Each structure stands twice: as C-alpha cells, then as structure tokens.
Structure 1
Amino acid sequence: MVFFKSDFPEVPPLPDINVHDFMFTLPGRTPEKDYVLHVDGISGKKVFRSEFLERVRDGATALSAPESSGGFGINAPDGEIVGILSHNALDYVTLVHSLLYIATPFALLSAHSTAFELTHGLRTADVTRLFVQPRLLQTALQAAKEVGLPEDRIYILGGSSSGRKNFSEAIGDVSARRIPRTPVRPAKRDTLAYLVFSSGTTGLPKAVMISHGNINFTLAQTATVATVDPRPETTPVALAFLPMYHTYGLHMFCFRGFLAPLTTVIVPKWDIDLILKVIREYRINILYLIPSAVHQLVQNKNLRQEIFSSVTTIVSGAAHLPPELVDKFRHTLGQPVEYSEGFGMSELTISATRVPTVSLFDGRIPHVPGSVGILLPGMEGRIVRDDGSDAPVGESGELWLRGGNVTLGYWKNEAATRATFVEDGWLKTGDHFRVDELGRLFALQDTLKVSGAQVSPTEIESVLTAHPHKLVVDACVGGVSGGRTADERVPRAWVVLSDEGRKRGTAQVLQELEAWARKNLSSYKWLRGGIEAIHEIPKSPTGKVLRRKLQDQYEEQRLKSITARL
C-alpha cells in the first residue's frame, strides 16, 4: 500500500470529552483578556466572549429544563435530534453550543430549502424538534405536517411569533428565575454531535454523522498548524456571511473562532451591497469566501480598492478557485494579501488540506497555482487507480483519506456508508487528484477527455469571463454528447450576460464569445457542444457550480428533439 502523510507535527493525544469542555474548560482555554466575540453586522450589537459563554450555559439549561418549569424538556438519551432552520444570526451560534453542551445532536437544515427539500431533510435526519427563524416558519410548518412533526415541537430562533416558544425568551426566563444550571453532559469520541447534509460521492443528499471526537480533532489540527505557522498576536476581525448550516461556515464561525481571539461580524446571508458596506464599516481583516462570491466581487461595478484596505487574509473553500480568478481578485484589491485555500468535504468534518504560506516550513514546500495544498496534521492519503491499485507520485486517481476527522458515516444509510467509508478507516472522496513529490495535491476538476486530450472546464470558463468587453458575469462549462464516440463528451458553455452583453443582444454576444474562445483556446478545447445564454448558473448554497444539472437538462432536451424527429 502506497500512502503519503502530513508534513505537520502529529496531533497530540486528545481527551475523550464533550466538545464544550474541550473548547472552554481545559487548562489554558480562557484568554487573559475578554474581547468582542460577535458583532451583528446589521444592528451593530456586540457580544463579548464571557457574555456568550454565560448565554450558552443558560441556553443549555433552558433546553434541558422540564417543560413544566418553562424549559424545552430536551434529553439526549431520549433519541432527540433537533433541527435548526435559519439564516446566520447571533443566537444560531448560541443554540449550536447549547446543544453540544447537553450532548444532544442537531441537524443543520438549509435556510434556502423549499418545502419539498425540507421535508426530505426532516425525514432523513429523524428530526424530533425544530428551531426556525420566523421568516421561514410557513415553509417549516408545511414540511413538518408532511413528516408528522407536531406543531408544539416547532420553536422560534431569533425574533418572535405569537404563541410559540422562543429560544431567546427561554434563556431570559432561566436567567431571571435563577434556575440552577445543568452540568455539561458527558460525551465520548464517537458521540453524535450533529448531522449535516451532503450528496457524498453520488446520489441524493444524505445526513453525515459528525461526532464530538471529530470536532475536537479538527480543532486540534488547527492548533497544531498554529504551532508552526502562528497567527498575529492581535484580535483580527472576520466577516461571516457563509451559511452556518453548511460545514464551512459552521466551523469557521461557530468553532474555530474560539481557538484564539477573533471578532466575527455576522450577517444573515450573501448580499454584495451589504458585504461591501460591512467590510468598510467594520474594517474587516479576514474574508472567508467561496468562488462564486469572488467572481461577483471582481465583476461588481461598485468595487473600489479603498473598501478592502483593511483586508489582510483571504480564505477560499467549498469549491475549487481557479488561479486566474485569484490573480484577478488580488489585482482588484490592489494590495498584497495572504491567500489560503484547501480541500474538504462534510465527510471529513470540514477539511483535509491547506495551502502552505510563504513562511511555512521555511519555504520548503512552496505553493504552486492549481494545488489545494498539503495534508493537515494527523492525516494520511492514497491515490487509488480504477483497478484498486495505488498510483505512484504524479499519476492521478481517486483520493482516499484517513484521520481523526473522518466522520462516522451516513445516518441510517448503511449501504452508502459501506460504499464510501471503507476498510481500516479510509474515506473514498470520489474526487480525482494527483500528488507530487512534496505532498502537494492537485485536483482534476471535472476534466474532459476530447480527442484523447484532457480539457479543463474551468480554463474555458476563465477565457469566457476574460472577454475584454466584459460580456458575461458568470459561466459554466460541462461535457455533453456529441463526441466522436458514444461516451466522449465535448465542451458546452452556459453563460450569464452582463448589462453590456444584454445591450448588444444575445445572438451577437454568443457569436463574439464563440470567436473569442476559438482565438484563445486550442482547437480540441473549442465549444463543440455549443454555447447558451441563461438567467443564472445553478449553484449550491456553498457556491459549488451544479454542472450536472445543466448537463442533464441539455441531454434531456436533446433526446426529446431526436425522438420528435423520429
């Protein structure tokens, strides 16, 4: 068996305890000085770290107190799973930590869900209680009715709704009545902490089981990295617009922000005008981004370099960020910034790699464009060929990973668990990579084979968006039928026109883009599958481009056309 390991120091042995104790009560976990932990980016409300911790303990008490005394009566041994349906909010973080405190698992539900999608989520996760933002209540009630979740088990998170129990009010009641606080409930390494939805490598969304031990391990990984690549001794300010119901946002804003002093400005969701205002007003230092957000920022007409004068660090995740887009954004900022990217998935709790900084390991492993970095502490990897054998350095294959962040599997889905979580603790990621002699991983992003040559969709997308007249604001390229053989796929593009593009007219713009692509790409990369203007590129809430959706729609329409002619 050929495998490669992390170059970072090993993760030290970890205590088998509740993640709350791991984060807050172990020796050295309390900072010397209190600091502003959270800021509501709309109201300006500030919450200090000490205030947050007190609120979490009151929240845990309210959740576990009997209903007869005004509590929610939630008990982990009863098989409870609490759903959370909300956009980002201060008390979203409070509720997450209060549930961890009482060792009661929760299910992260997308705030963008339709009633149909939410029904699937509630049923898949076996949700027994639901905390919901008022604006999402009607969708929640419709889905709850479908799965038989009683209305008196639906509560309000943030704001209010007449006649419904409210998390914030319950916390205030606990504090006012001085109800004795519940102690931290014990949890072990494999105690279920939460469920998050993922399609895994195939199929419909499944509920990934993340344990207390998984969270502790990822926090220990971050702390281990800091021993060789420390952060500045200041309290930087980060912006939180990424959804907390997704792995990336959850960990960055609900967990990692407690390892060292960090002030997080929380906004409900992505709104580019609000984002630009908040960056300037709160002097944001760290931007946690996804590729679609970077693209929108680069294309935005209101972008001015002075807005980003405080930004020192950019972190990108959730999907591959093309190097060309990184360069464009850096040029837009007009100043040097530290850039970090990595590869991760929910089945890995959050991430497995990170891009090395200039100073890491004294520059022994420099970053190169196109690489997602090196393995995080405590991890091992394999590159596996289609026949199950291990590929050598430089050859591509499926990436398998092993470490304490590999999760427990899929909730009540043994078949999917067996297919993805294999022997000896290895996780089959379903993604193809190659690794070089320095341990740097390179993803093969939806690569097409045309006339025997590899074609990168992201390369073609970059060419289309680089048209000098800025005719498009977004583009997606995927493989469709039309090659020399039945199984060969040729590139097809879907584009969203800019204001300038719409002024010129769709037909003219598509002709110009076709000519531009032929001028700037080798002939085997030409758009032989055609080019189409659409209103919006479909993406997941985390910014991953849903190429498959566009490809399937095209193939379905193509089949109908062929059938009609016959």
Structure 2
Amino acid sequence: MHIKSQLPDLPPIPDANVFDLFFKAPQGAQIADYTVYVDAATGLKHSLRNYYEFVRDAATALGVPPARGGLGLGGEAGDIVGIFSHNCVSYAALVHALLAITTPFANLSAYATAYELAHSLKTVKPNYLFVQPALLPTALAAAKEVGLPEKQIYILEGSSGDERLSLQDLVNRIRKGSISREPVRLANKNTLAYFVFSSGTSGLPKAVMISHGNLWAMVLSQAIWRQEEIKFLRELTPPKAPPVALCFLPMYHAYPLNIVAFRMFGMAPVTFVIMEKWEASAVLKAIPKYRIEALALVPSAVHQLLNHPDSAKTDFSSLASAGCGAAHLPTTLRDNFLSHFGNVTLSEGYGMSELTFGISRKSFDGMFGLKVPDSTCGLINSNVEVRTVREDGSEADVDEPGELWVKAPVVALGYYGNEQATQETFVDGWVRTGDQMRIDKDGFLHFVERKKDTLKVGGAQVSPSEIENVLHAQPDGLITDACVAGVSGGRTSDEKVPRAWVVLSDEGKRRGAEEAVKALEAWTKKNLSPYKWLRGGFEVVNEIPKSPTDKILRRLLQERFEAQYTARAKL
C-alpha cells in the first residue's frame, strides 16, 4: 500500500542555517524571555536571553581562530566534535553553538565502555571531544586507542580537577578578551548538522547523518501538526506561562535531542527541567517538586513508573500530557498508564534515527473526521509518503503487513563512511525501516513487529552483531561460533532481551560449559553497556544454524527458545 500525507504541505525548506529558525525572531518581532532550562540537581534557572548570549559566545569561542583566542573550528575544514556526556544544560548549549558555526557534532552514548566509545570514534573520527568529568577516564582510554590527542579533549560542564579547560572556560576567555562575535555561518539544506548512532536494519551501530534541512523539515512538520490540533480543539488562548516538562531521557538519543534542543525552539516555548539521567525514584520526586506538566517517555520508563513503590504516594496533579517514543508501546501498558494517570493525554508516534525524529503522530479522536484506532501509531506528517512492501518487493494491500518504506524531507543523508549500509537502507529516496507495519483504510499506521535483527531494550538500540563481535573478541578463545538474538523476558510483554548461543572451542570444552559461560558473561559485562548485557542468558550448542549463504538463522534458535519459555510459563 502506498499513501501520502493528508496534512497541509510544508513551506519550501530554505537553504539556511537552522540556528536562525530556533533563535531569530520574525522581522519586527521580539521573542519574549522565559525560563528555557532548569538544572534539576541545583534548581538553577536559565532564561532564554542569558542562554542565547552564552550560546553565541560559545560559538565564538569554538569558531574564531586560535590567534583570537578560539579553537578555529569549522565544518568546511573537516572538523567534527564528539559529545560524551549525560544530560546537562551545557549539552544543549554546545549543540546550538556548533550548529551556529556549521560544525558537525557526534552524539556519543554516555553509557559506552572504552571499547564501545573507541568504535564510535573510529566511525565518525572527531578531532575534538567535550566530556562530562565523571566520564573522562573512559574518554581518555578510548582516545588513546584511536590516536586522538589529549589536548583536544575538553570538559563540557563542571571541572575535571586538572588544567583541562571547560566550555565555560573557553567562553570566559572570549568574554574577557572582548572578542567580536562570530556570525552565524551560512548553511544549505544538505549541510551536515550532526551524527546520531543507530544500528539501522542490522549490524554494528552506524553514524546517521542529519542535515540542517532535515531539522528545518522536522520542526516545520511538527508545527503544522500543532496548528491542526489547535484548530480542532479550538485553543485560541495561549498558556500564561510555558508548560514545564521533564527531561531524563539521554540527549545523545534522537528522540530527546529533538524534543529538548530543537523542536521547542521552532514551536511554542517550553521550560525543560534537565535531569542528568533516568532514575525512577528521582523522577517521582522531581514531578511534584517542579510541578511537571509534560513527560517524554519510553515504554520501559512507563513500566517502571507504574510499578515503582513510591508511585502510589506521588502527587501527579500537575501532569497534563505525556509522549512515548523510541520503541513500540504495548496496548496493555498504554491502558495501564492512562488508567493510573487519569486525565493525562498520551501521544504516540513512529520514528527512527534515520528519519531525524518522527514521521507519524497519533491524532485526537475526531480530527480529520476519523476515529483513532487504539492500536495505531498515528497518521503520517506533512510531505511524508509511506509504502508497505511484501518480501517479494510488491506492495502490500490495505491492512496487510509489510515492511514500511518512508520518503520524506526528514530522511537522513545516509550513514557516514558506510556506503554499503547506505545503499541497503536508503533506496531511491526511500528508507527501508526494517519494521513490519500495516496501513488501514484511513491511513493509520499499525506496528506489527520488528523485521530487523536490532533490538530495542528500554528504548535503546541493541545490535546482536555488536555483542557477537565482543563474544568472539574474548581473549581466551573459548568459542568458535556465536549467535545473539532477542527473546522474551523484557520489562514489557513485547520487549525482547539479548540471548547468546555459543559453540565452545576445544579450550572452552576443556574448561567446561559452566566455567566458559561465566568467563564470557564477565567479558561482555566489562565491555558492553548494561542495557546490552545478555539478560536472556547463554546456551551452549553444537552448531549455529545457517543458510546456504552462511547467514545466521536466528529465528530457528529464537523459536526453539520461545517454545521452551511458553512451556515453562504454563507449569
């Protein structure tokens, strides 16, 4: 099935720096000041005007030549900046400053081990790093492995306790020298804005390239959605003050990055309370403390909030809306959320890193004269086309599952330095999502299952191939083959957790299965982030089933496990 959006078209995407969309008021107008960010740990508030001044000074500190006291960065010179940090206000400030001087930045997982970080650094090859102090040892270890000089590693926010300069230090140096500001640099639709890591349809994490044009299209499409909602709800009076939202999802992920750093600046003002990272009890304390009105969630966070012992005694009276993304939200979990939180509205949609943010959104019942099905992830955004495709390449019928293909101005430029993966996923302007969807007669998308091998654990992507590579890298040579795939046992009914099937080598057999598995588990925990750990367990097998072309037949192992899992559940 092939459909196009029924929403109004986007205006022409300009060849301009997206920084202007975020911070430049229309001619003759002035952007009203408000509190844009609040540090949840300290309560420190940042007004929009003060924040803007800091961002412009940071852009100057990063962009002017060293002879004038800056770093002399620029995208045209091939510079790339890596950001390795948990959430903080300076994360957003650095992002905006780098956009202003058209210098691409790479969002690096703050949970990465030195092994994982080194892979990311080898992929995008940044020549500068800004790091959270607590993560500096990991950054230094990875930088040493890839040959990134220590002198090009800076502190993002806070202090490292040595002579290493921070972003604030660089800004102070510019301000002290009264150096004239670096102007916002020119950009076009295809100017590279940033990298975000994704496993795509399969394989190791890849660096998705997002352009300034992608960001323009994302924000403008979200604005059109909001205009349509306002028309439907007849909301004519804007709120007296910006709503207060809570950010605990990692800003290096496409979903929160776009919400917290991009979307709100191009739409309606929002005050974001920034938490360093997710911790359920801390979130439950922050909601009443800051009178939080809006939450951005992932399914695992929904599950934990509903089941936390402090949830029943938490004051949620300020909460008015929530959005859930990054992974499919099961119907039962959604219903439990709505039952627990009463009048809170819950929005859902569909997106992926390769699509900048999202390409569909769940509308209000009655919008466009349509009744919204419970199971849908929404109608597609402005200027979006989607197709559902059968295994043989033909188009699926109405309500028939097929792989979702997407064409839109938010489609990424491709994967950096990986032409083969780019050609496999980006086909003639279409993105092959690897997700099975069906499209009903009214144009609503319905998630069926993940076709691709990549897992979503707690909203974060997990690559089976990456875990397999780590298993094979275990230095004692305990295995000759391995397969990793998702199995039942996650926090929600449809969340899968990684499980490993391994074939022992002679050395592995000599030690015995139990001892070998213990060593493999310790190795993976040392070299992988916790959400990638093999929570589905290990199984020693005689061989890994493969096709005639040597492709691992994961489904055979998964089906065998699920049959045993179901049988045990019935006992």
Measured against the shorter chain, the TM-score band is: 0.7 to 0.9
For 1:127 and 1:426, the matched residues in 2 are separated by: 29
Q: State the match for 1:87 in structure 2.
A: 86
1:366 shift after superposition: 2.5
**1:271 aligned to 268, 279, 284, which one?**
279
Q: 1:342 to 1:28 in 2, by over 3 A?
A: farther
Q: 1:222 to 1:368 in 2, by over 3 A?
A: same
Contact 2:37 2:273 in 1 (8 A): yes
Q: What percent identity do the matched residue pairs reach?
A: 45
> What does the per-residue CA deviation read over 1:486-523, in whole Å, with 9 as the maximum and x for residues that have no partner?
xxxx99643689xxxxxxxxxxxxxxxxxxxxxxxxxx
1:65 shift after superposition: 2.2
> What does the per-residue CA deviation read over 1:151-203, in whole Å, with 9 as the maximum and x for residues that have no partner?
11101100112111211111122223221000111111001000110000010
SS of 2:311 mapped into structure 1: coil
SS of 2:119 mapped into structure 1: helix
1:50 shift after superposition: 1.1
**1:326 aligned to 326, 331, 334, which one?**
334
For 2:33 and 2:25, the matched residues in 1 are separated by: 17
Contact 1:242 1:542 in 2 (8 A): no
SS of 2:374 mapped into structure 1: coil
Please identify runs of 4+ aligned residues in structure 1 that moved more than 3 A: 28-32, 490-493, 558-562
Q: 1:237 to 1:195 in 2, by over 3 A?
A: same
**2:413 aligned to 387, 408, 411, which one?**
408
**1:282 aligned to 275, 290, 295, which one?**
290
**2:439 aligned to 423, 435, 441, which one?**
435
Is structure 2 residue 178 aligned with structure 1 residue 178?
Answer: yes
For 1:102 and 1:298, the matched residues in 2 are separated by: 43
For 1:141 and 1:250, the matched residues in 2 are separated by: 25
Is structure 2 residue 489 aligned with structure 1 residue 494?
Answer: yes
Q: State the match for 2:378 in structure 1.
A: 373
**2:309 aligned to 285, 301, 309, which one?**
301
Q: State the match for 1:141 in structure 2.
A: 140
SS of 1:417 mapped into structure 2: helix
Residue identity matched to 1:272: A
- Structure 2 gaps, min length 5: 457-463, 465-484, 493-520, 546-571
**2:258 aligned to 251, 255, 266, which one?**
251
Residue identity matched to 1:409: G
Q: State the match for 1:557 in structure 2.
A: 540
Contact 1:23 1:29 in 2 (8 A): no
Q: 1:561 to 1:415 in 2, by over 3 A?
A: closer
Contact 1:356 1:374 in 2 (8 A): yes
Q: State the match for 1:222 in structure 2.
A: 222
> What does the per-residue CA deviation read over 1:442-492, in whole Å, with 9 as the maximum and x for residues that have no partner?
1112589xxxxxxxx99xxxxxxxxxxxxxxxxxxx9xxxxxxxxxxx996
- Structure 1 gaps, min length 5: 449-456, 459-477, 479-489, 498-533
CA RMSD across the alignment: 2.9
Contact 1:318 1:542 in 2 (8 A): no
TM-score normalised over the length of structure 1? 0.79
Residue identity matched to 1:106: F
TM-score normalised over the length of structure 2? 0.79
Contact 1:200 1:206 in 2 (8 A): yes
**1:422 aligned to 427, 430, 434, which one?**
427
Q: State the match for 1:206 in structure 2.
A: 206
SS of 2:112 mapped into structure 1: coil
Q: 1:112 to 1:306 in 2, by over 3 A?
A: closer
Residue identity matched to 1:37: V
Is structure 2 residue 164 aligned with structure 1 residue 157?
Answer: no
Q: 1:289 to 1:216 in 2, by over 3 A?
A: same
Q: State the match for 1:396 in structure 2.
A: 401
For 1:200 and 1:385, the matched residues in 2 are separated by: 19
SS of 1:437 mapped into structure 2: coil
For 2:385 and 2:131, the matched residues in 1 are separated by: 39
Number of paired residues? Answer: 476
Residue identity matched to 2:190: D
